[in-house]
Chains A and B, each alone.
Chain A
């Protein structure tokens, strides 16, 4: 009856401890979430560090909260909630994934004392919900609209600089911080290429090409993709076409058996040649039909064989087979026309157009570039960098920035970052809490305190004196300086609205709401029932008994987790 083995168990279970049913469970769930928070903490903010993760032989170096949590492979059920929160923030807003996780865990941490004191979870949850509601309302009150002032052109230019500021803030914690000016320009440009109604970020293609410096990355206002596998004859095709007419196909252009399982029985020698000729005719008909449309560029999702390649080369047409389908879709979106799945009914209307088609050499790869497209609602970012991991991280950072710019366009309200808005909300809630009586006062105050984790962690990561600076911020905020936040350049505090550290208000509202939801969810769980895994690993993990695991055992009883073997 010894549990001296103290084997780590997969499921949180407190054995032989408490008579109470669920409190221990809540507490250990909170602990688990805090452990996850610990992993993410150092990555927050402009001085946040990166995490190098190796899984299945693949190396990822990242600073993106959602990516880290995803690759960390969390299995603890409560901690998994945090992973989901970060994922939902990523999907909804695209940025702020680290802060949402941090906030959520911090809310739980603050709630811990109340749980320990025996307060009902429901009371805490109610308090948190109330606090969250108030905080969101406060953000709505103080948020600032990005105005398109003046004449249209002037306003546009101004709005653009404002968007760039937002993008720069989103990039400040990433690897590309030093080049944020360059990339901010690129990101804003890219987002503005999109259809302003929909702003579908999937229409921004990203191609990664190793080599070169980060600043050699470029934006193609149109579509670009890597040269596809080509057959002999390809090099004789034109590589630069002005006013190209583009035909997009989903047809295989190859001399081959039309039907896989067909078998021809030939009885006469003379028929032999006829069949050969018939097959040739089939493919030549297709090719002739394509040429007849006047297309100068032919793209296909399916292979374009050597015969077709040479046929096109003879007629001054460029072709590319096996084009990835998302590339082809973006091409169609950019150049117009539509993807044809047959060659029998081609009309010139099916063709797309673009001002300039060119095959260019980037590093050691060759890329097909379509520019000056009439319906340029798409663009492509060609990213360069020293190593694959660098580019991968740049891509993630740009994704965040793109999302932020997109949000800022759709919902052009902003707040100041660098911990400013959190300090303000914290102050506001604390003041509010003093006006109410009862337990809610404590809970709302705790919520207010939890919000301070963001500036505190920012300081900690930058190696600044957190306590001192936060005190300074508190006093400034209490005097009504609502936009004061941390200023890393001078290791002090500053009005972050004026220094252009901006974030879309929506990001913050969404972060607060989902963090509160997640915290409430974890606080509301007092029992975990986990079904038995199908195969048990021998050794380190003991076989869990079937049924309701996680239930607290009466004192004095032997723990459920016995060595069954």
Chain B
């Protein structure tokens, strides 16, 4: 490749590599592509290699967070916010990346998060491990796409094997509360997913919260869980132990007047989206008051509107007003005088939530208020949190019991945030189990079993696929080895002995004993992962590997945004 002479010096030479660059007979370079000098290009195996190295870098970052003994990361955002987490998706979304392939990995963990909500670390590690293995094969001279094809086939075998070794967990549909007991499968599953998180010291509490909230909103016949109905609210103060599930709606508001009663039982709620003030036309208008009499009239009009509004509310039978807008002190006083507790400035989505929970209707005008449109809740009370002056409103015993709010307390913001994320993960696990109660066992046992299966199939392959199969099988080993490493065990020894046991005992449930419970049988330890989650991990990781392997030309244009 001839490097052009005298080109602009600031550009490294490889930028002007041959294909988008030509020379005339005199060897003088001429430009074909716009802003060529600003474009960077990488070609062939080099491109693949640099991608794989980038992926490896990312995986290295996440690897120590895998498993119950995984460590947390502190992430400091550009504006100085501190975030402590070991949730793969969160870490990936917080770190600022400039490498394109690394960005692909971020999206990978994100889509695992969106779909399954758990296993976000594992998928990234698996993908990068696959790429790592592919690199060896590429260096041997195997065509990247053939490797990708082989991976696809191997992945198919692995997912088939997953279905074979999958187990069913019991969900007690008869008595829902039975699932809340410590021995129930759902509870244990939720507890496992919390194992690696900061909340592990009160994991029973959180597991219970997760199961309780999901079961509350779950439709067990349709096997569906609507996450919109579960709200997770973090509040600073107190300890993690004080967290709880409230079957109802929690509002970050208080009653509009301090003298209003702090608790309303058997509340009939008027949910309003209009302000407590004389209605104003939307069209631009101007009222010219020309005489004192007019002015008095105006005042009277305002007074009478207030009165009428309160009357209308009373007439409808409401004893609590929840208003999307504000009202001034005068209105506030009148509400107090009329013994109508009220809440003002409630956000639109909360209004909706309350309406759903209390089976009320959102009313846009006072004229439209009727008794049927009122929502109903058993108790509405104001709750003070600790000694702070923060107050929250709790609406409980609603007509529609499906809405739940998980209130998370913690001593600092980072803990609250991380606990919120952890709870979300375990909510996802419980939801997935309700959707599909097939599980595979964790601790790397599923990976080891698949790895053995794929390795076995490798020998039956003809041609290059053999290599790809072996590579796939080795790539799967990364999960148990990382788990062992993070738990302070000897990874190689653990892996090899486990593999030997798998073959000897024909027991697919043997995994890494991360917590030192004395048994490797994950079924006994009840360390489970959902089948769909694991399958998804395999599929997504293989898909990404194919995508990266297929790229052999990278053209990055101008850095003009800098």
Given contacts A8-B31, A50-B552, A387-B104, contact A306 B20 (CB under 8 A): no
Q: Which residues of A contact B7 (CB under 8 A)?
A: 6-8, 540
Which of the segments A52-60, A324-332, A433-441 contacts the partner chain?
A52-60
Contact B20 A51 (CB under 8 A): no
A216 to chain B, nearest CB (A): 9
Instruction: Choose the segment among B62-70, B190-198, B328-336, B542-550 that binds chain A (4+ C-beta atoms closer than 8 Å).
Output: B542-550
The proximity string for B residues 3-44 relative to A, scoring 1 for CB distances below 8 Å and 0 otherwise, is 011111000000000111111111011111111110000000
Task: Tell me, rounded to whole Å, the shortest Cβ–Cβ distance linking A277 to chain B.
Answer: 9
B356 and A236: CB pair below 8 A? yes
**Complex: chain A residue closest to B283, CB-CB:** A257
Tell me, in angstroms, the Cα distance from A501 to B286 when the chains sit together. 76
Hey, which chain A residues are within 8 Å of B282, CB to CB?
A: 255-257, 279
User: Which A residues form the contact surface with B (CB < 8 A)?
Assistant: 4-17, 24, 27-28, 31-32, 34-36, 38-39, 42-43, 46-47, 49-57, 59, 61, 63, 71-76, 79, 175, 177-178, 210-214, 231-236, 255-259, 261-270, 272-273, 275-276, 278-280, 306-307, 310-311, 313-314, 363-364, 385-390, 393, 462-463, 539-540
Contact of B107 with A by CB under 8 A: yes
Q: Is the CB of B557 closer than 8 A to any CB of chain A?
A: yes
For B144, give the chain A residue with the smallest CB separation. A49
A15 touches B30 (CB 8 A): no
B288 within 8 A of A: yes
- Is B161 interfacial (CB 8 A cutoff)? no
A51 touches B555 (CB 8 A): yes
Residue B259 CB within 8 A of the other chain: no
Closest to A49 in B: B552
Question: Which residues of B have CB within 8 Å of A11?
Answer: 30
Chain B residues near A63 (CB-CB < 8 A): 550
CA distance A38 to B555 in the complex (A): 14
Distance to closest chain B CB from A51 (angstroms): 4
Given contacts A5-B6, A14-B24, A386-B544, contact A235 B551 (CB under 8 A): no
B100 interface neighbour in A52, A211, A386, Cβ under 8 Å? A52
Please give 7 more A-B residue pairs, beta carbons under 8 A apart, in addition to A31-B24, A49-B550: A39-B20, A50-B553, A73-B34, A266-B285, A268-B294, A463-B143, A463-B146
B402, chain A: closest CB distance, angstroms: 12
Residue among A4, A9, A262 making CB contact with B283, cutoff 8 Å: A262
Min CB gap A268→B, angstroms:
7
The distance in angstroms between the C-alpha atoms of A35 and B107, with both chains bound, is: 34
Q: Does B91 contact A (CB under 8 A)?
A: no
Decide if A388 touches B361 in the complex (CB within 8 Å).
no
Q: A108–B143 Cα gap in the complex (Å)?
A: 30
- Distance of A233 Cα from B143 Cα, bound (Å): 56
Contact at B561–A56, with CB atoms within 8 Å?
yes
Residues from chain A with Cβ under 8 Å of B149 in the complex: 177-178
**A505→B407 CA distance, assembly (Å):** 66
- Looking at the assembled complex, report how far the CB atom of A28 sits from the nearest CB atom of chain B, in whole angstroms: 4
Query: In the bound complex, do residue A51 and residue B553 qualify as a contact, i.e. CB atoms below 8 Å apart?
Result: yes
B362 interface residue (CB < 8 Å to A): yes
What's the nearest-Cβ distance from chain B to residue A278, in Å? 8
Does the CB pair B4–A6 fall under 8 Å? yes
Q: How far apart are B22's CB and chain A's nearest CB, in angstroms? A: 4
Q: A211 with B114: in contact, given A36-B20, A54-B100 (CB under 8 Å)?
A: yes
| In-complex Cβ contact of B115 among A212, A231, A270 (8 A) | A212
Whether the Cβ atoms of B26 and A387 lie closer than 8 Å is no
Inter-subunit contact B551/A73 (CB<8 Å)? no
Which of B204-212, B347-355, B519-527 has 4 or more CB atoms under 8 Å from chain A? B347-355
* Cβ proximity bits B347-391 to A, threshold 8 Å, 1 near / 0 not: 011011001100001111100000000000000000000000000
- In whole angstroms, what is the CA distance A12 to B28 when docked? 10
Stretch of B273-281, B442-450, B472-480, B495-503 lying at the A interface: B273-281
Bound complex: CA of A50 vs CA of B36, how far in Å?
Answer: 20
Tell whether B427 is near chain A: CB-to-CB under 8 Å: no
Query: In the complex the two chains form, what is the Cα distance from A389 to B548 in whole Å?
Result: 11
From A14, A15, A72, A255, B20 is in contact (CB under 8 Å) with: A72
A38 neighbours in B (Cβ, 8 Å): 18-20
Specify which chain B residues have a CB less than 8 angstroms from the CB of A6 in the assembled complex: 4-7, 28-29
Q: B486 to chain A: closest CB distance in Å?
A: 25
Chain A residue at minimal CB-CB distance from B354:
A232
Name 24 interchain pairs, CB-CB below 8 A, sorted by A. Answer: A6-B4, A6-B5, A8-B28, A12-B24, A32-B22, A34-B22, A38-B18, A49-B145, A49-B551, A51-B551, A52-B554, A55-B557, A73-B557, A75-B34, A76-B32, A211-B112, A212-B111, A213-B540, A232-B362, A235-B356, A263-B283, A272-B301, A280-B365, A390-B543
The answer to whether B553 touches A52, judged by C-beta atoms less than 8 angstroms apart, is yes
Contacts of A262 on B, CB cut-off 8 Å?
Answer: 283-284
CA separation between A506 and B415, bound complex, in Å? Answer: 64
Task: Quote the shortest CB–CB distance from A460 to chain B (angstroms).
Answer: 11
Task: Give the chain A neighbours of B556 by CB distance below 8 A.
Answer: 53-55
Enumerate chain B residues within 8 angstroms of A55, measured Cβ to Cβ. 556-558
B292 close to A (CB within 8 Å): no
Any A CB within 8 A of the CB of B183: no
Q: Is the CB of A267 within 8 A of B33?
A: no
Q: Is the CB of B297 within 8 A of A269?
A: yes
CB distance A275 to B31 under 8 Å? Answer: no
With A54-B557, A257-B283, A307-B364 already in contact, the answer to whether A235 and B546 are too (CB < 8 A) is: no
How many residues belonging to B are interface residues under a CB distance threshold of 8 Å?
89
Q: CA A276 – CA B30 in complex, angstroms?
A: 71
* A263 lies within 8 A of B31 (CB): no
Please give, as numbers and ranges, the residues of chain A lying within 8 Å of B20 by CB-CB distance: 35-36, 38-39, 72
By a CB distance below 8 angstroms, the chain B residues around A59 are 100, 103
Asked if B110 lies at the interface with its beta carbon under 8 angstroms from chain A, I say yes
Interface pair B553/A17, CB less than 8 Å apart: no
Q: Name the interface residues of B54-110: CB closer than 8 Å to any CB of A.
A: 100, 103-104, 107-108, 110
Q: Contact: A263 with B285, CB < 8 Å? A: yes
Minimum distance in angstroms from A374 CB to a CB of chain B: 28
**A34–B24 CA distance with the chains assembled, in angstroms:** 12
Q: Are A74 and B145 in contact (CB under 8 A)?
A: no
B298 contacts A by Cβ under 8 Å: yes
| B417 within 8 Å of A (CB atoms) | no
Q: Which chain A residues border B103 with CB–CB below 8 Å?
A: 59
Complex contacts, A31 vs chain B, CB 8 Å: 22-24
In angstroms, how far is the closest chain A Cβ from the Cβ of B360? Answer: 9
Chain A proximity of B121: nearest CB distance (Å): 16
Report whether A27 and B145 are in contact in the complex, using a CB–CB cutoff of 8 Å. no
- Complex: A255 Cα to B364 Cα, angstroms: 11
Contact A264 B286 (CB under 8 A): yes
Q: Which residues of chain B have C-beta atoms less than 8 A from A34's C-beta? A: 22
Q: A12-B24, A386-B540 are in contact. Are A7 and B6 (CB under 8 A)?
A: yes
B12, chain A: closest CB distance, angstroms: 15
Rounded to whole Å, the gap between the CB of B244 and the closest CB of chain A is 25
CA distance A261 to B228 in the complex (A): 41
- Chain A contacts of B6 at CB under 8 A? 4-7
Known contacts being A31-B22, A210-B110, is A76 close to B281, with CB within 8 Å?
A: no
A10-B539 in contact (CB<8A): no
Looking at the assembled complex, report how far the CB atom of A364 sits from the nearest CB atom of chain B, in whole angstroms. Answer: 4
Q: A34-B22, A49-B144, A53-B555 are in contact. Are A231 and B32 (CB under 8 A)?
A: no
CA distance A24 to B144 in the complex (A): 40
A562 to chain B: closest CB distance in Å?
14
Closest to A364 in B: B114
Question: Within the complex, what minimum Cβ distance (angstroms) separates B343 from chain A?
Answer: 15
Complex Cα gap A214–B300 (Å): 67
A56→B34 CA distance, assembly (Å): 13
Chain A residues with Cβ below 8 Å from B21 are: 35
- CA of A8 to CA of B351, assembled, Å: 65
- Contact in complex: A276, B554 (CB < 8 Å): no
Question: How distant is the Cα of A74 from the Cα of B362 in the complex, in angstroms?
Answer: 58
Bound CA–CA A253/B445 (angstroms): 57
From B538, which residue of chain A is reached at the shortest CB distance? A213
Residue pair A310, B362 in contact (C-beta under 8 Å):
yes
Q: Are A75 and B555 in contact (CB under 8 A)?
A: no
Within 8 Å CB of A7, what residues of B? 6-7
A103 to B199, CA, bound (A): 63
